[in-house]
Amino acid sequence: MITVVGSINMDLVVKTDNFPKQGETTLGTLYTTVPGGKGANQAVAAARLGSAVQMIGAVGQDAFGTELLAGLKNEGVLIDQVKRTDGTSGIANILLSEGDNRIIVVPGANHSVTTEEIDALADQLVKSELVIMQLEMPISVVQRTLEICHQNGVPSILNPAPASGFTTEMLPFCTYLTPNETEAEEIFGENWEKALEEFSNRLVVTLGQKGAQFYDGEKHVLVEGFPANVVDTTGAGDTFNGALATALVEEKEFEWAVRFANAAASLSVEKFGAQGGMPERTAVLERMAGDRI
């Protein structure tokens, strides 16, 4: 069982030809709601690939909360440990205009999770094969989860996004760290490639269409990305993490696991929405077998 301790949001997407200026009102061309939140996205990515997944987190008592839980359940993600709180579910208000975007995230229920609640769920963490976290939850909750995993020998993946929440105290506790290039720079500075050497087979930096890079103890390994017909790259990183977790739980060799994650993420960018394009296992294996499309 993979346990994801993370955010569950409703993405409120508005497309417009013109962003409003201060004090201005403009017409939009589309409004849609899509389930999101890095935690939920990564849980769905792993579940679609065949992993048993449970989610720890929180949604509100509002209609979005009901819809978000139903969506996760429909994907086969266990939601027994998702709390419902008073107040609103987390939302991301996403304005899109010609490839540009402006996003406001309101954490809502996600930030109601406490370290005491994590302590009370320690048995759920301890019995997990792997635990995934991101940084959209209270930092104290992430730190406590990492500590419990570390103390009990449970492997963990920390996807340090958004990187502003990262603290170096987290480093010794997480098994794997999966920043994108910008986050790697924010955490380790311009010389993040040196950090790969320090955390061999533990630190993987995702590089967009170029793929992902890690250090295997002897040399730097660039695992090339798979070419894709890009429609929407939202959720590429989340698919990568869910797929990496799936392969690691299956005790696949590390380079193979990263290649599997690249292939899954390359499929995810070919459809709209973070969860919309997340592939099933067969499609990923086909892409890997075809090597290049």
Ligand X SMILES: Nc1ncnc2c1ncn2[C@@H]1O[C@H](COP(=O)(O)OP(=O)(O)OP(=O)(O)O)[C@@H](O)[C@H]1O
Which segments are annotated as binding site?
9-11, 37-41, 136, 180, 206-211, 232, 234, 237-238, 262, 268, 271, 273
Write down the least CB distance from residue 27 to ligand X, Å: 27
Residue 238 annotated in active site: yes
Q: How far is the CB of 211 from ligand X (least distance, A)?
A: 5
Which residue's CB is nearer to ligand X, number 3 or number 206?
206
Q: Measured from the CB atom, is 41 or 124 closer to ligand X?
A: 41
Q: Residues within the annotated binding site for K(+)? A: 232, 234, 268, 271, 273
CA distance 155 to 257: 15
Nearer to ligand X, 124 or 213 (CB): 213
Distance (Å, whole) CA 216 – CA 166: 24
- Please report where in the chains the tokens 């986050």 appear, as a residue: 183
Least distance (Å) between residue 163 CB and ligand X: 10
Dihedral sign of CA atoms 289, 266, 10, 58 in order: positive
Which C-beta is closer to ligand X: that of 118 or that of 265?
Answer: 265
| Binding region for ligand X (CB under 6 A) | 180, 206-209, 211-212, 225-226, 228, 230, 233-238, 240, 262, 265-266, 269
Specify binding-site residues for ATP. Answer: 180, 206-211, 237-238, 262
Minimum Å gap between C-beta 205 and ligand X is: 8
Which amino acids are annotated as binding site for substrate, given as ranges? 9-11, 37-41, 136, 238
Number of other residues whose CB lies within 10 A of the CB of residue 1: 14
**Of the two residues 10 and 78, which places its CB atom closer to ligand X in the complex?**
10
Residue 68 Cα distances to 9, 122, 184, 247, 258, angstroms: 8, 24, 31, 26, 29
Cβ atoms 269, 228 nearer than 8 A: yes
Residue 101 in tokens: 């975007």
Scored b (16 or more CB within 10 A) or e, 91-112 reads bbebbbbeeeeeeebebbbbbb
Rounded Cα–Cα distance for residues 32 and 272 (Å): 12
* Smallest gap from residue 281 Cβ to ligand X (A): 16
Which residue is at the shortest CB distance from ligand X? Answer: 237
Residue 291, helix vs strand vs coil: coil
Return the number of other C-beta atoms located less than 10 Å from residue 292's C-beta: 7
Catalytic pick among 100, 119, 238, 291: 238
Annotated catalytic residues are: 238
